[in-house]
Structure 1
Amino acid sequence: MGGGRRLYPARLDDGGRGRADPRSDNRRCGPGRRSVAGWSAGFRRRRGLLPRPGRTPDAGGGDTMTLLVNLISAYALVMACVIALWFLSMRIRNVSIIDMFWGAGFGLISILLLLINRPGTLYPLLIAAMPLIWSLRYTAFIFQRNWGKGEDARYTKLRSWAETDAAFNKLALKKVFLLQGHIMVIVALPVIVALSLSGPPALPVLMWIGAAIWLTGVLVEATADRQLKAFRADPEKRGQILDTGLWRYSRHPNYFGDAVMWWGVFIAASANPLALPTVVGPILMTHFLINVTGVATLDKKMAREKPGYADYMARTSGFVPWPPKAKAAPR
């Protein structure tokens, strides 16, 4: 076995003679020297640009199987949680508990995927950390806001549509709990896919661009929530319309920040082009924030209940912050 040639174990059909390993090129580095290729690979692995030695890029469906396991695991976790909350809501007669789970659910998905995959490179760790950090702030905010205040008016109205409690419970399971659970999994697709990919990101710069956009969204949402909380806590502002701070430039800056945050997660995940199809996640979230549960619904309610809100709508951007129009001069 001299000369640096590695031999395969002897086989019966070659008369017991070992044969040379064809993968060996019979070349060695000089004493005390490392090849440039080896040094480069080690450097990039330490920077998170190459996978760990124990996890090689997909060459035969490995990433596909990992994605399937991650997707099924995340789906099972979310469905188990929303069904458990549905049973609890029937016992306490309060569907609003699902709102407290909305942010926490994304954090649980991130934790589950980190436990399953145990990533050792920067790309998956960053993608998982972003929704996890956001969920901590958002869940604490919603919990503090909703705790002890009874069922939200949206669900009370839905309850009035059903003739019996049993009919309402079935309606709530389908229209509230299961619906939110499925939306949560779709919105989390950038995270699920990113933690399923073993190869290095092709465009690492997108990780940092996405992280910057994510941070911007988190700060906008948190600032808008804080301003709204302070406004509601001031008895002198009762009956008035919040049109200062971020609310001067957008009627719903909190929703805008939420959408921006999810777009940041997607852009960071798309550093690996295989995550590009998960754009359906931020698109769906933005659609719901604008057209379903957010801007459109709340504007109708506020215009009906708050004098002067129509004027506020006329001069203030509905979603994207923008300089307000001048107030119309009185006639």
Structure 2
Amino acid sequence: MPLQSLLLLASLDLALQWSLWVAAAALRTEKFFDLAGSGTFILLAHLSLNWGETQHLRQQVQTGLVTVWGLRLGLFLFLRILKEGHDRRFNGIRENAGTFFLYWTMQGAWVFITLLPTLLLNLEKHRKPLGFLDYLGWGIWAVGFIIESVADQQKWHFRSNPDNAGKFIQSGLWAYSRHPNYLGEILIWTGLFISAASVLRRWQYISILSPMLVWFLLNYISGIPILEKAAMKRWGKEPAFQTYLQKTPVLWPVNIRW
């Protein structure tokens, strides 16, 4: 039954993304892309909770944490794109319906894989008492949520100040990491996997793909590489920016040599 429910949730996820792609392609807009992604997270989390065999406090808390994250991030990204008018990730993409379709499809896959630990947790029957892994995971989620929220707000206020026009942020959390919001995002999904792992069994541990995917995408695909390239193009010749690069780690707020 859980496997059938997972397949149904995956189908619903893709059907929703493809339906919204039709509207987005017709309007040639990406303005509700991120909002759709966050909304799908919330929808699937609550559906899995309602479809599950039991609603233990563990499942309720997990679903609540996904909901809080989705509401905050979805609203933040939607307001940001309304303010800026566009998302540079989609330059040259929104006009090409086929490529745009691929982006919406990838969003559907990202939502499902990232949410997989929570879906498995909600769909299975668990009577195990809350334990160390539950509290550890929720604690890591809380740290990540605070870091991401504070970093986003600091950058929002920085950009809203006319005196900072054309400048790069290097204050607050951004003085310790060049991408603290991404660090928070990674911690959020790592925490939710750990809390779910308290009751996962056998093949279900494949859901470790959730934090691994988030880390991989942000480090190598859609996050850091794009922003670092744009920053180098804009400020790369400025001595102050070169100093910032040298003293501030890319992600983790410690200087680690691998």
Tell me if TM exceeds 0.5. yes
SS in 2 for 1:158: coil
Q: 1:236-255 deviations in whole A, cap 9, x for unaligned?
A: 11122211110000000001
SS in 2 for 1:195: helix
Most deviating of 209-218 and 106-115:
106-115
Q: 2:18 aligns with which of 80, 83, 96?
A: 83
Tell me the equivalent position of 1:318: 250
Tell me the equivalent position of 1:170: 98
Q: Which runs of 5+ in 2 are unaligned?
A: none
**TM-score normalised over the length of structure 2:** 0.90
Q: 1:106-157 deviations in whole A, cap 9, x for unaligned?
A: 1111111122226331222222222111111111111111126433222123
Counterparts of 1:62-211 in structure 2, within 5 Å, are: 65=1, 67-117=2-52, 119-147=54-82, 149-158=84-93, 168-174=96-102, 176-201=103-128, 204-211=131-138
Q: Which has the larger radius of gyration?
A: 1
Question: Given the superposition, is the C-alpha separation of residues 220 and 148 from structure 1 closer, same or farther in structure 2, using an over 3 Å criterion?
Answer: closer
AA partner of residue 171 (structure 1): T
Please give the root-mean-square deviation of Cα atoms over the aligned residues, in Å: 2.0
SS in 1 for 2:123: coil
AA partner of residue 105 (structure 1): T
Higher relative contact order (CA 8 A, sep 6+): 2
Counterparts of 1:232-243 in structure 2, within 5 Å, are: 232-243=159-170
Q: Give aligned-pair identity as a percent.
A: 27
- Determine if contact 1:246/1:321 at 8 Å carries over to the other structure: no
Distance across 1 between alignment mates of 2:51 and 2:118: 13
Tell me the equivalent position of 1:28: none
> Is the counterpart of residue 294 in structure 1 residue 223 in structure 2?
yes
- Determine if contact 1:200/1:272 at 8 Å carries over to the other structure: no
AA partner of residue 144 (structure 2): G
Distance across 2 between alignment mates of 1:246 and 1:92: 37
SS in 2 for 1:299: helix
AA partner of residue 101 (structure 2): L
Most deviating of 86-95 and 206-215:
86-95
Counterparts of 1:235-274 in structure 2, within 5 Å, are: 235-274=162-201
AA partner of residue 169 (structure 1): A
Distance across 2 between alignment mates of 1:74 and 1:310: 47
**TM-score normalised over the length of structure 1:** 0.71
